Amino acid sequence: MLAKIMNRTVAAVVTFGFMGLTPATLAKSETLINGAGATFPQPLYSRWFSDYRAIDKSIAINYQGVGSSGGIRQLLTGTVDFGASDEPMNAEESAKAKAQVHHIPTAMGAVALSYNLPGSPGLNLAPDVIADMFLGKITKWNDARVTATNAGVKLPDLAIMIAYRSDGSGTTAIMTEYLTETSPQWKTKVGQGKSVKWPTGLGGKGNAGVAGMIKQNPGTLGYVELVYAVSNKLPVAAIKNAAGDFVTPSNAAVSAAAKARTREIIAADFKLSLVNSPGKGAYPISSMTWLLVPENMPAGKAGPFAGFLKWAMGDAAQNTAESLNYAALPKEVRTAALDRIRKIKFK
Amino acid sequence: MSEGLPRVQRRRHFKSVMANAIIAILAGFAILPLILVFSYIARAGLPALNLDFFYKLPAPAGELGGGMANAIAGSLLMVVMSGLMAIPPGLLCGLYVAEFPNQKLALALRFVIDLLTGVPSIVIGLFAYAVLVVPMGGFNAWAGSAALAIIMLPVVSRTTEEILRLIPGQLREAGLALGLPRWKVLLRLIIRAGRSAIATGVFLAIARASGETAPLLFTSFNNQYWTKSLSEPVASLPVQIYTYAISPYEEWHRLAWAGSLVLVSVVFAINLLSRLLLKRGAK
Amino acid sequence: MRSDDVFNLTLRALALTVIGGFLALTWFLWKSAMPALHVAGVAFVWRTEWDPVLGEFGALPFLWGTLVSSLLALLMSAPVSIGAALFLTDIAPRGIRAPIAFLIEMLAAIPSVVYGIWGIFVLAPFVREYVHPLLNGHLGFLPLFDGPPFGLGMLTAAMVLAVMITPTITAVCREVFRSVPDPLREAATGLGATRWETIRLAVLKTSISGIFGAMILGLGRALGETMAVTMVIGNRPDISISLFKPAATMASVIANEYAEAQGDAHLSALAAIGLVLLLVSSIVNIGARWIIKHTESKTHV
């Protein structure tokens, strides 16, 4: 008994000593700002917050990816200082907010359709074909409707296994939004949401889970954020957009989706979905991601955080985003966002 | 030895040899997957394990290197805190249930403890969130430790109860006959007698708590920096490992494995230390 | 007598605190689940729909998934764990006992997310390439082995769970077996019992309640396990007898959907699932205690 207590004391002393001796990188007067939200932008934010510390040493911004809805909930309960989401807050959520929440767009991304086929060929897929694959109506890769748009590719007689996200996610919301808009049958049968009832397929946890499933099982078709397909070296499909072109997901294609609608974005207070955007070369499953900034942010934190937001709209930050496989915002949107940031009346 | 023995004897001997072989094979089945998992982590994690890992903070995306120093310290901190919160009460609960079976309260406690072992850790995390995080206005280390303590307590209690029940009654009678008050008999003699076995239960609880991710996501959150106060979010190995494991970067995956290796090794070290301190004629 | 009274009081106070805490937990769950149960009633437990978009929720597919995966895991793990514990106490040469025991205990510390990833990259391919062809190829006409060759599904999940609960069951059984007094073993051997007979009569028979306790602890861990299971089970709320088809468990759906649950209806449905899980755990424990009580009265030393 005594030995156990001694054990604990030794451990405690060691821990606290450890924490104290190692060079503390938090200066005594630093303020910690906490945020929670989507996992999609987490790598980007981790880099931005780290880079910004070189500019403003008085704050340390701590962000964790717990999911868009989770982030919004934490924001509404007041347990974090800011939120982040791949989808704008809906009416129900906004009604619960104690103060106005400003949606500041930070970057953009693409949801890619990735697959596992022998030889990893590039595929062209049309929206109705995609929807019917996810509905379970097209069950084989060498179905006539698939080969119709892929003349030069030898598609095998292999079953299509759909991989979806088992955890609720903004990526699913964007994907199902696309399916809802392009397929009336999907709209009535399944609908749009962060979690839906998938007609067929298996669920993997997180982008990494779905990417893992695609990698391991021949014949799988799944949707993942582009950065996961790239880092796992998975092939991605070129999707036929509203203008009729087959577009491969890339930063340029995502930017094209936004550039065609900058005025709409600004008019909608930045809360616009980029799914199925018109415009040549636009990738149809694109989306923005936002930082949710409440007007009732504590006084000591609001000012410095606004400083960070302004920096995020600048060239340095947006170039870093591009280097990490996120698409930068169009210049007009950034200017408008800067304007909005300056106008936020923190309480 | 078996030649010349009547048939019954030979059959019994044969059965014994077969049974021993089957037991050995079963033991092999127990150890095999465990070796597989461990070698997988070791192979993936050792390359990323260097000195930096132990004193540097996490590097952001796109930058190589960095470490998990704050996560290691944070995990140690919370395991110590939750241990202090859960182990003494857990021991006493197990004691109460085992030694006072005629009290209705003890039976009720036993039932409740059994139920607690089956509650998913995420539900416990959500409960701790509602009770500690929201009133305190933010994620903090207390809530994280409390959630882990709730997970640890039933494990400690249950194993203590089982071990104490196996200690022969004569030991208690001897103590009481010597004129010792009951509490001294129980604490000094009985628990002492089962201390090595109880330590196993304590260790299992610590091992379990050290690896829990889900409850911490809702309570201690995570922190990219060193924690200044216990009322702030604090980094922990499981959450950091989880964050890295589900990311798209190979570099971060390697760090996740290195973190897993460190986590298992630290828990192993705690176990070893406790055993050595308790060792006194163990079997 | 006074110090004993103080001790007694402390114990009782502690017991009341723990029970009170548990009641608070249950009340919290109940309150969160109320909206969903108000809408669906008790029928929530046997409804099979799970549609967050339409707002229709039912617990049955998850109940099935939890029970089958946990019981299957226990079935696979119990003989192995008990065997390993016996090996460590009565059969292995003394020198290697402690190291092997340490190895097994250390693996209780591996975070479940690591088990999950090992499951995806090592176990699932193993099931897909060896187990499925073996069972489905030869016995595929049985509904039990009928199913797609994805490597993810009920069997893989049960296997991961079995690996995860083995250290717990082994460690506790080992302590229980060690606590059997040596004179008991010596008496059996002295009467001419073989090694196996000694084990069976002196060790196993007297340890039944301890073994059960170990299995309940293991089962408890399996029922509540989230991360590892969700990564390999396929997460499809279907009810099927096939080992190779995907399924979903109560703990995993809570972990998967809670963070992103939109709308109070979805949230409260998840809390209701938590309540059902608590109920299942209670029934399992009551049953186990009843079994222990009845076997103990027959074999008590």
Contacts of C49 in chain A (CB under 8 A): 197
Contacts of C171 in chain B (CB under 8 A): 200, 203-204
- Averaged pLDDT, B253-263: 86
Is the Cβ pair C176, B93 closer than 8 Å? no
Q: Three-state SS for B53?
A: helix
Cβ-defined contact of C257 to A90 (cutoff 8 Å): no
Separation of alpha carbons A315 and A330, rounded Å = 11
A177's enclosing H/E stretch is helix A170-182
Nearest C-alpha of chain B: how many angstroms from A60? Answer: 8
How deeply is C294 buried, as exposed, middle or buried, from its count of CB atoms within 10 A (0-12, 13-18, 19+)?
exposed
Q: Give the chain B residue whose CA is nearest to the CA of A230.
A: B248
* Cα three-residue angle B121-B124-B125, rounded to 5 degrees: 90
Decide if B187 and A1 are in contact by the 8 Å CB cutoff. Answer: yes
Tokens of A30: 């630093």
Interface residue of A2, A10, A15 to substitute, partner B, most B CBs within 10 Å: A15
From edge to edge, which strands make up the β-sheet containing A101-115? Answer: A59-65, A31-37, A82-85, A286-294, A101-115, A220-225, A161-165, A202-204
What confidence tier does A114 reach under pLDDT thresholds 50, 70, 90?
Answer: very high
Q: Is the pLDDT of residue A1 over 70?
A: no
- CB within 8 Å: C51 and A161: no
Rg (CA), chain C: 22
Q: Tokens 């222990």 appear where? A: C292
Task: Tell me the average pLDDT across B130-138.
Answer: 83
Helical ranges in B118-223 per DSSP H: 121-128, 134-136, 141-166, 169-177, 182-184, 191-193, 195-211, 214-219
Neighbours of chain C (3+ CB pairs under 8 A): A, B
Give the pairing type, strands A238-240 and A124-125.
parallel
Whether A212 and C266 lie within 8 Å, measured CB to CB: no
Highest averaged pLDDT of the listed ranges A170-184, B125-139, C108-122? A170-184
**Is C299 part of the contact surface with chain B (CB cutoff 8 Å)?**
no
CA distance A91 to chain C (A): 11
Q: What is the pTM of this model?
A: 0.82
Is the pLDDT at A272 greater than 50? The verdict is yes
Q: Is A14 on the interface with B (CB under 8 A)?
A: yes
Determine the length of chain B.
Answer: 283
**Shortest alpha-carbon distance between residue A87 and chain B (Å):** 20
Of A67, A198, A209, Cβ closest to residue C260: A67
- Percentage of chain B modeled with pLDDT above 90: 16
The pLDDT of A159-187, averaged and rounded, is 91
Give yes or no for C260 touching A (CB within 8 A). Answer: yes
Indicate yes or no: CB of C80 within 8 angstroms of CB of B30: yes
Per-residue pLDDT of chain C (301 residues; tens, 9 = 90+): 588 888 889 999 999 999 999 999 999 989 988 888 888 888 888 888 888 888 888 899 999 999 999 999 999 999 999 999 999 988 888 888 888 888 887 777 788 888 888 888 889 889 988 988 888 888 878 888 888 888 889 999 999 999 999 988 998 898 889 888 889 889 988 888 888 888 888 888 888 888 888 898 888 888 888 888 988 898 889 898 888 999 999 988 888 888 777 777 888 899 899 889 888 888 887 787 777 777 665 554 4
Whether residue C118 and residue B37 make contact (CB cut-off 8 A), yes or no, is yes
Identify the residue whose tokens are 């989808």: A87
Spell out which residues of chain C touch residue A166, defining contact as CB-CB under 8 Å. Answer: 230, 235, 248, 252, 256
A217 → chain C, closest CA residue = C150
Nearest to A13 by CA among B73, B224, B130: B73
Q: For A19, how many CA atoms within 13 A lie in the half-sphere containing its CB? A: 22
Q: What would the mean pLDDT of B59-65 be, rounded to a whole number? A: 75
In the complex, which subunits touch B with 3 or more CB pairs below 8 angstroms?
A, C
Chains with ≥3 CB–CB distances under 8 Å to A:
B, C
- Structure-token match 């104690």, residue found: A98
> Is some CB atom of chain B closer than 8 A to the CB atom of C226?
yes
Structural domain boundaries of chain C?
2-300
Least CB-CB distance to A196: which of C52, C259, C263?
C52
Query: Both tokens of residue A166?
Result: 């088992």
Residue of C nearest to A161 (CA): C150
The CATH number, out of the four listed (3.40.50.2300, 1.10.3720.10, 1.10.490.10, 1.10.530.10), of the domain defined by the range C2-300: 1.10.3720.10
> Does the distance separating the beta carbons of C181 and B168 come in below 8 Å?
yes
Q: What are phi and psi of A62, to 5 degrees?
A: -110, 115
> A168 vs C148: CB contact, 8 Å cut-off?
no
Quick check: C112 and B12 CB within 8 A?
no
- Of B17, B120, B141, B136, give the one whose Cα is nearest residue B78: B141
Per-residue DSSP letters for C38-105? Answer: HHHGGGGGT---EETTTTEE-SHHHHHHHHHHHHHHHHHHHHHHHHHHHIIIIIS-HHHHHHHHHHHH
Q: Which of B122, B129, B208, B263 to mutate to test the interface with C (most CBs of C within 10 A)?
A: B122
Q: Which residue in A225, B108, B270, A215 sits closest to C18, CA to CA?
A: B108
CB contact under 8 A, C255 and B120: yes
pLDDT at A266: 87
Q: Which of B100, B155, B263 sits opposite C109 (nearest CB)?
A: B263
N- to C-terminal Cα separation, chain C: 31
- Cβ distance of B123 and C82 shorter than 8 Å: no
CA distances from A62 to A30, A69, B72, C106 (A): 12, 18, 17, 32
Distance of alpha carbon B215 from the chain centroid? 15
Strand ranges for chain A from DSSP E: 31-37, 59-65, 82-85, 101-115, 124-125, 161-165, 202-204, 220-225, 238-240, 246-247, 286-294
Range A13-18 contact pairs with CB under 8 angstroms and sequence separation of 24 or more? A14/B76, A15/B73, A15/B76, A15/B77, A15/B80, A16/B77, A18/B73, A18/B76
Instruction: Single out the residue of A200, A197, A130, A206 nearest to residue A171, CA to CA.
Output: A206
Place of tokens 């933010």: B138
Cβ of residue C140 closer than 8 Å to a chain A Cβ: no
The mean pLDDT value for B34-42 works out to 85
Asked if residue B103 lies in contact with residue B272, where contact means CB atoms within 8 angstroms, the answer is no
Instruction: Please tell me which of the candidates C110, C174, C216 has its beta carbon nearest to residue B260.
Output: C110
| Segment A29-68, tens digit of pLDDT | 678 899 998 888 988 998 999 899 889 888 889 998 888 8
C contact test, residue of B9, B72, B117 with most C CBs within 10 A? B117
CB contact under 8 A, C259 and A190: no
Lowest pLDDT segment from A26-30, A50-54, A193-197, B55-59? A26-30
**Alpha carbon B83 to chain centroid distance?**
10
CA distance C81 to chain A (A): 28
- pLDDT of B219: 86
**A230 lies within 8 A of chain B by CB:** yes
C272 to chain B: closest CA residue: B123
